[in-house]
Structure 1
Amino acid sequence: MLGTELKSTDHHPYLGVELASSMDWKHHIQNVSGKAQRTLNFLQRNLYKCPQKVRTQAYTSLIRPTLEYAATIWDPYHQRDINSLERVQRKAVRFITGNYRRRSSVTALRADLGFPTLQQRRLASRLTLFYKIHNQEVSVQIPCHYIPQDTPSIKTRRTHEEQYKIIRARTEVYKNSYFPATIPVWNKLPASIVTSTSSQTFKTKIQQLVSSDQSELYMGSVVPAAASLN
């Protein structure tokens, strides 16, 4: 460009998200979890004597937004990446409750605080965005090859008529990108949620659903840490 040879790079930040030539989010998640952990370390040093309410507010205001910025797009599917993010919240739960006893269950402490897992929150965010796209509340269109020509032929009492085609993916990267990963979950949602009259009502219902005992029905498959990216 203008006589200067441009250097190639495998990954580079753009609008706060680390884009990679391999189309995976490993570098971005490493950056996000590292930044969130450094913020948590700062809060632990300075707010350890504060009431639990203050520590909770600090976490939800300063750390969780870092862990969730643009997460509807880069929602990870490798277990190692999911664990990397959840590890920060688990440490934050210890900090908020002041309970560092080894025999204490972090899962129970998290439930007492009313915190869903970050994976559950990302799923709720993805589905809420899809609801807005479906109802043309945002300037994003669903690709035409996902839209069925006729009413879905498979319909049970637990499904709905607002279903989309499921496209077979040949790679894990494409399979776990936004539309291919979200549409199968959307198709499985109860009609009472899909037909919500507003995005806020949908968001409330979907948060309750993914935080419930039924959440595993909607989480989808997770690739183990040792699996290949290809």
Structure 2
Amino acid sequence: MSFGGDSANSFVMHGEKGPEAITRTDAKKDLGIWLSPNVSFSLRLEKSAQKAFALLRMIRCTFSRITRTDFEILYGAYVRPLLEYANPVVYSGRTKDVILIERVQRAATKMVAGLKSMDYETRLVVLDLFPLEYRRLRGDLILTYALFEQGLANRVFTVDPANTRRGHGEKIFKLRGHTFIRQTFFSFRVVAAWNNLPQTVVHAPLELSSKHY
């Protein structure tokens, strides 16, 4: 985020320790998330993919043969968490970023013995996996469910108080998003999918809704 456009003047922030100059930086890492001036998470996704590919190479060098059981442990414990860390917040929405992250899972599924020659969709079925974009949506819905269960939904969404529309009784108003970045916010992108859920899912017990996530 820039201040003053292309101005050459320095900016100062006044805090408890006195005035401090605001230094310019093109990227900043905070809580494990890389942030860029344009509020895009592409850099974070690129670095996550790089780490994930490095781990895949390490796994290939360590194991001469990887069974399905080995894959479930290694991929689930070491690789996928890198790709899904802070997913509700860190979402780009750009096609190139979605493809980049999915490439990691494509490469990972090829390591399993006997699956390399199969197409990606078949490998997913055999390994009981889903595309990462699907898991992202699933995670968004589970978080939305948790917010309603804990009574925090009004802090994130504009909830329909009249409850006059068809479907379940926890509908969310979809506000206008005039920019691409706004449309990728969690509070915006999850609304349509959440409103289309059946009532049996929205009011299901918590332990069933979040199972295996």
Pick the TM interval, shorter chain. 0.7 to 0.9
Going from structure 1 to structure 2, the CA distance change for 1:37 and 1:175 (only over 3 Å counts) comes to same
Going from structure 1 to structure 2, the CA distance change for 1:5 and 1:124 (only over 3 Å counts) comes to same
Match of 2:147 in 1: 133
Give the drift of 1:197: 2.2
Give the drift of 1:144: 7.2
For 1:149 and 1:57, the matched residues in 2 are separated by: 45
Structure 1 contact 147–164 (Cα < 8 Å) conserved: yes
Structure 1 contact 19–25 (Cα < 8 Å) conserved: yes
For 2:156 and 2:80, the matched residues in 1 are separated by: 35
Match of 2:52 in 1: 36
Give yes or no for the alignment of 1:170 onto 2:178. Answer: yes
Identity %: 21
For 2:36 and 2:81, the matched residues in 1 are separated by: 22
Correspondent of 1:150 among 133, 138, 162: 162
More divergent stretch after superposition (82-91 vs 48-57) = 48-57
For 2:123 and 2:153, the matched residues in 1 are separated by: 40
Match of 1:210 in 2: none
What is the aligned residue count? 197
Give the drift of 1:8: 1.4
Correspondent of 1:76 among 92, 115, 120: 92
What SS does the corresponding residue of 2:111 show, helix, strand or coil?
helix
Structure 2 contact 65–112 (Cα < 8 Å) conserved: no
Correspondent of 1:110 among 124, 127, 140: 124
Structure 1 contact 29–85 (Cα < 8 Å) conserved: yes
Give the drift of 1:73: 1.4
Match of 1:6 in 2: 22
Match of 1:121 in 2: 135
Structure 1 contact 36–66 (Cα < 8 Å) conserved: yes
For 1:20 and 1:35, the matched residues in 2 are separated by: 19
Q: Which ranges of structure 1 fall in alignment gaps of 5 or more residues?
A: 208-230
Give the drift of 1:42: 0.5
For 1:6 and 1:60, the matched residues in 2 are separated by: 41
Correspondent of 1:183 among 191, 195, 199: 191
**Structure 1 letter corresponding to 2:192:** P
Give yes or no for the alignment of 1:59 onto 2:75. Answer: yes
More divergent stretch after superposition (122-131 vs 3-12) = 3-12
More divergent stretch after superposition (189-198 vs 5-14) = 5-14
| Structure having greater relative contact order (Cα 8 Å, sep ≥ 6) | 1
What SS does the corresponding residue of 1:44 show, helix, strand or coil?
helix
What SS does the corresponding residue of 2:64 show, helix, strand or coil?
coil
TM-score by length of 1: 0.78
Structure 2 contact 157–187 (Cα < 8 Å) conserved: no
For 1:82 and 1:45, the matched residues in 2 are separated by: 27
Going from structure 1 to structure 2, the CA distance change for 1:49 and 1:163 (only over 3 Å counts) comes to same
Quick check: which one's helix share is greater? Answer: 1
Quick check: which one's strand share is greater? Answer: 2
For 1:72 and 1:37, the matched residues in 2 are separated by: 22
Of structures 1 and 2, the larger Rg is shown by 2
Match of 1:88 in 2: 104
Match of 2:204 in 1: 196
